[in-house]
Structure formats: C-alpha cells, structure tokens
Amino acid sequence: MYIEGKNAIRQALDSNITINKIMVDKKYQGRKDEIINLAVQHKIKFEFVPKVVLDKKSKTGHHQGYIAESVDFNYCEVSDILEKAKSLGQKPFIVLLDGIEDPHNFGAIIRSCECGGVHGIIIPKNRAVQVNETVIRTSAGAIANMLIAKVTNLKDAINYLKENDVFVYACEAGGEIIYDKKIDGAVGLVIGSEGFGVKKSILPYCDGTIALPLMAKVNSLNASVACGIMVFEVLRQRLQGEKNAKIV
C-alpha cells in the first residue's frame, strides 16, 4: 500500500504504521528535507527517484514528491476501542459506517472523528471501502491517531456495544432531531452509505434514530458532512456536560 504526500507520510512515521521504504523526488537530493530526516531517525530506507516514477505509482496524482511503501493497515478489535475510552477515563464515543464506498468520504470522516474526540470507527468487512492510499491521504494524517475495527457483521458489533452499555443511534432522515436529544453519554453513531443511508435491516438493532434538520429541497447531506455535524454536536454536549459538572 502506498502513502502519498508529505503530511500523510509524516503522520504515518509518527504512528504505528509500518513503512518499508520511502521514494523521494530526486530534485530534493542534497537538500535539507524533513521527510528524509525523519526516515533516517526511524531507520527507514529511502531512495531518490525521477518524478516520472512517482507519477506512475501515484493513485491520487498529488504525491508532492513523496511516496511511502507501507504494509497493510493494522485494524483493531472493537474491544480495543472500548479499552481506549476506558484508559482515558471517558465514555466510549464510536462511529459505525454502514457501507461507505467513497474513499474520499471515508478519509474525511476519519479526519472529523479524530478532531471530534471519537475513540474509534467500525467498518464492515464487505461491501464497503477499506483503508487504502486515498483514504490515508484524505484523512490528512488523522488516521495515524484513529483506531479502526473491521467486522464481519455490523449487527453483531452493535449488539456487542449495547452489551457494554453503549447506546447506538442510526443517523437517518425521519429520526429525532439531534439538537433536541440528550446524547452526551456512551454513544455509537451509525452513518449510512452515500446513496442508501442506513440499511433497514440495521435499524431494529439501534436504540433509536437521530437526524439533522434540513431546510432545503435536497433531502440529504454528503455522508462525511453529516457525520462531521453529528460528531461535533455530541462533542458539544459532552463539553457542556463537563462544564456543568464543574459548576455543581
């Protein structure tokens, strides 16, 4: 798997992602370069190559003169996400993706989740995008700090969370408006696919359905945009709850 771009590689080097080699545009040879210095510090092999080589290997077209060869992404278990929250002394905050197929959406979701205090993301093994070069780049480095669990059955994952006292809500049109819902506890948000939303077969397994108010004729938002708004409303409520607890 390739990781493209300076920022994505920098973040990968600071995380537990294993990098085998970094290819650098030969025009940087002989210059002081942050990525090369980091590669030396981490004892990672690097080589200077013509830009045309990078262009041929690039999947995004925006390698910025740097492409790293890495092993496949290291997925975690759902239990690891719960343990992370526990170790931080926080109530679990988890996002479950029901069939997201666009890697740009997935990357953007990872970025929003990392910024919004989400402890981990759960994705299905089949019929959904997996972590790839585009996802890594679009996440702008956030993936280095985000636990991602890949499960065979999303329904089983929801049941497991509920057994561990996590309330799971489907984010779907027609649900209770999130701004009218107290949702500052242990929570999981299910974000549906770009074209079909949360599957009807998933809805009965959730504790409820929440939605965003939409004022225009268009009846849906981009999945990553909707996810970001939902995540930051949960974060707002959590921060407000902490503030009120300190006042009391």
Give the start-to-end residue ranges of the domains of the chain: 2-70, 78-247
Task: For the domain made up of 2-70, give the CATH fold.
Answer: 60s Ribosomal Protein L30; Chain: A; (3.30.1330)
pLDDT in tens, 212-225: 998 877 667 899 99
Identify whether the C-beta of residue 233 lies closer than 8 Å to the C-beta of residue 178.
yes
pLDDT in tens, 54-111: 999 898 888 999 999 886 778 999 999 999 999 999 999 999 999 999 999 999 999 9
CA-closest candidate to residue 189, choices 240, 241, 141, 237: 237
Greater pLDDT, 248 or 135:
135
How high is the pLDDT of residue 16? 60
In this structure, the dihedral spanned by the alpha carbons of residues 24, 29, 32 and 38, taken in order and rounded to 10 degrees, is 30
Task: Please state the separation of Cα 116 from the chain's center in Å.
Answer: 11
Sole residue written with tokens 């407000």? 240
How high is the pLDDT of residue 59? 83
Identify whether the C-beta of residue 38 lies closer than 8 Å to the C-beta of residue 10.
yes
Beta bridge mates, 170: 190, 209
pLDDT in tens, 142-182: 888 999 999 999 999 999 999 999 999 999 988 999 999 99
Rg, C-alpha atoms of the chain: 20
pLDDT at 248 over 70: no
Sole residue written with tokens 């938002």? 221
CATH number of the 78-247 domain: 3.40.1280.10
